[in-house]
Amino acid sequence: MTAGPIPVPAIDWGLLAPLTTLCIGALYVTLVAIGPMRMRALAGPVSLMALIPPAIAVLRLWDRSPGSVETLGGMIRMDHFALCFHMLFLVIAAIAMLLSLTSLKDQRDVDGTSGDYWVLVLFATAGMMLMSASNNLLILFLGLEILSLPLYILVGYTRWQDRSLEASIKYFLLGAFSTGFTIYGMALMYAATGTMDLSRMVQLAAATGDSAGAILLLGFGLAMVGFLFKIGAFPFHYWLPDVYQGAPTPVTAFMIAGTKAAAFASVLRVVTAPMFWDGPFTADWTKLLTVLAALTMTAGNVVALVQRDIKRMLALSSIAHAGYILVAVVARSEDGIASVVFYLAAYLFMNLGAFAVILAIDRARGGRGEGEDIASFAGLGRRHPALAAAMTLFMLSLTGVPLTAGFLGKFYIFRAAVDAELYGLAAVGLLNSALAAAYYLNVVVTMYMREPVSEPAAVTMTLPLALGIGAGVAGVIYLGVFPSRVLELASGLLL
């Protein structure tokens, strides 16, 4: 019997424009990076410019008809949900690149040109975008790997520092281990349903009986391991403090905002599929994530209380923030999804701004990590009032003080939990927010009320660093005072 031709899925290249233009830009930066020395010095600015065409493509696709958002045989959905996250990823990449323009110039031992670095950041961003647009487990896994592989290298980019190499090895080994769980879980989901398509799994699982349903649920649990690892949720969080502390500061900023957003986009894609959102497996995964959310919030905050290294403290606090966002996922509502998007937008400005200030302090102390101790911020309020004011704003926002983006982000998350009658989980979240104030406000107290132990070094600002801090301040204030526009865009993205 002669086999027929293999069907080729239709491809709408217009829908793929954000991804294709970003990848073309990354390839162009690769050519710049291997060119003459004068060209290599332009790799950083060219990489920033490479983010403009994808951003334009996202804006052009926003008003496209909802009925024409699928391509590649339905495996990729460029709906408003994907486009919202695409813009988040591009903003994260842009601010991280601004920090890198200063950091790499300081740390490179020859001339400050690092073309391969910029290429890795661009391809990692492409992986994030693919994850948020995937409607198929295979595409989801490809996006996860396209994100992960550049990050393994970026974490160890300052290879002359032992802690950077150690962080890279830890991240690679544990990341590869979690990926094994993820691909095995996806294989079980495929075995139970015969498809990788998230939107068709529920019908096929129902047609194959209870045994297939049990396999599907087991596969879902294993597949979630990889995403919970990227999020930094309990008990998959042990890698996070060492990796974030050892990585170069701009890479830590890029990861703390970008990988968390990409992982949550993937989690939302999976759990809002019909079989999980309002189907036979809803009660199972909501119970599991309810427990994980409470444990994640508590574990992150308790350990962060005793930290003296500010990068390590923010890394551990990011675990707690992952727990807050999981609360909104468990709420299973349109408001819950909107609050996740809003919180991630606020989170990127708070953290990227804070890491920009950390980078400025560390540069003043030689760029060897000595400026990452919280004690190095002593007296900053008198020496550099503008820098201290910016850091204060970021710490207050992370705490959740009113009129900041962080306050409204937590408010919307806990409101979604209360509306879903998750009163216990909302109470745990509020208690953890109060607990987090202790270590965030400690940084503010150190800047304004403590004297430096040794003679402080002068902090010199570069234009890219000032732009990075300014973007963080503007984002925190705008989202804290005028949240309605972002919430309006985030409403009704998946449901």
Are 431 and 345 found together in one domain?
Answer: yes
Mean pLDDT across 94-104: 86
Are 338 and 264 found together in one domain?
Answer: no
Question: Does 178 fall in a domain?
Answer: no
User: What domain range includes position 107?
Assistant: 12-170+243-273
pLDDT beyond 50 at 131: yes
**Token pair in block for residue 228:** 């919970």
Residue where a domain terminates, one of 273, 290, 317: 273
Instruction: Measure the CA–CA gap between 255 and 238, rounded to whole angstroms.
Output: 16
Question: Does 198 fall in a domain?
Answer: no
Are 405 and 358 found together in one domain?
Answer: yes
Are 158 and 296 found together in one domain?
Answer: no
Percent of all residues in the chain with a pLDDT value above 70, rounded to a whole number:
88
**Token pair in block for residue 75:** 């495996």
Instruction: Measure the CA–CA gap between 265 and 85, rounded to whole angstroms.
Output: 7
pLDDT beyond 50 at 109: no
pLDDT, tens digit (0-9, with 9 covering 90-100), for 304-340: 888 888 888 998 899 999 999 999 988 888 888 889 9
> Given pLDDT bands bounded at 50, 70 and 90, which one contains residue 1?
very low
State yes or no: cis peptide before 9, omega within 30 of 0: no
Question: Does 201 fall in a domain?
Answer: no
pLDDT of residue 111: 39
Are 254 and 149 found together in one domain?
Answer: yes
Q: Which of 464, 451, 103, 440 is nearest to 304 (CA)?
A: 440
Are 253 and 299 found together in one domain?
Answer: no
Residue where a domain terminates, one of 255, 273, 291: 273
pLDDT of residue 306: 85
Question: Does 189 fall in a domain?
Answer: no
**Token pair in block for residue 119:** 């290429």
> Given pLDDT bands bounded at 50, 70 and 90, which one contains residue 88?
very high
Question: Does 200 fall in a domain?
Answer: no
Label residue 470 exposed, middle or buried (CB < 10 Å: 0-12, 13-18, 19+). middle
Are 392 and 419 found together in one domain?
Answer: yes
> Given pLDDT bands bounded at 50, 70 and 90, which one contains residue 70?
confident
pLDDT, tens digit (0-9, with 9 covering 90-100), for 379-436: 888 888 889 999 999 999 999 888 889 899 999 999 999 988 889 899 999 999 999 9
Are 254 and 323 found together in one domain?
Answer: no
Question: Does 70 fall in a domain?
Answer: yes
Are 372 and 479 found together in one domain?
Answer: yes
Query: 255: Cβ–Cβ under 8 A, 6 or more apart, which residues?
Result: 151, 155, 243, 244, 247
- How many folded domains does the chain comprise? 2
Are 293 and 160 found together in one domain?
Answer: no
Task: Please tell me whether residue 41 adopts helix, strand or coil conformation.
Answer: coil
Neighbour tally for 87: CB within 10 Å: 19
Winning range, highest mean pLDDT, from 212-216, 360-364, 402-406, 455-459: 402-406
Are 257 and 369 found together in one domain?
Answer: no
Are 267 and 373 found together in one domain?
Answer: no
Q: Mean pLDDT for the chain?
A: 84
Query: 397: Cβ–Cβ under 8 A, 6 or more apart, which residues?
Result: 346, 350, 404, 405, 406, 407, 476, 480
DSSP code, position 119? H
Question: Does 101 fall in a domain?
Answer: yes
Label residue 458 exposed, middle or buried (CB < 10 Å: 0-12, 13-18, 19+). exposed
Residue where a domain terminates, one of 273, 292, 312: 273
Q: Which of 151, 116, 165, 149 is nearest to 250 (CA)?
A: 151
pLDDT, tens digit (0-9, with 9 covering 90-100), for 344-359: 999 999 999 999 998 8
Question: Does 197 fall in a domain?
Answer: no
pLDDT of residue 391: 92
- Of 364-373, 416-425, 434-443, the poorest mean pLDDT is in 364-373
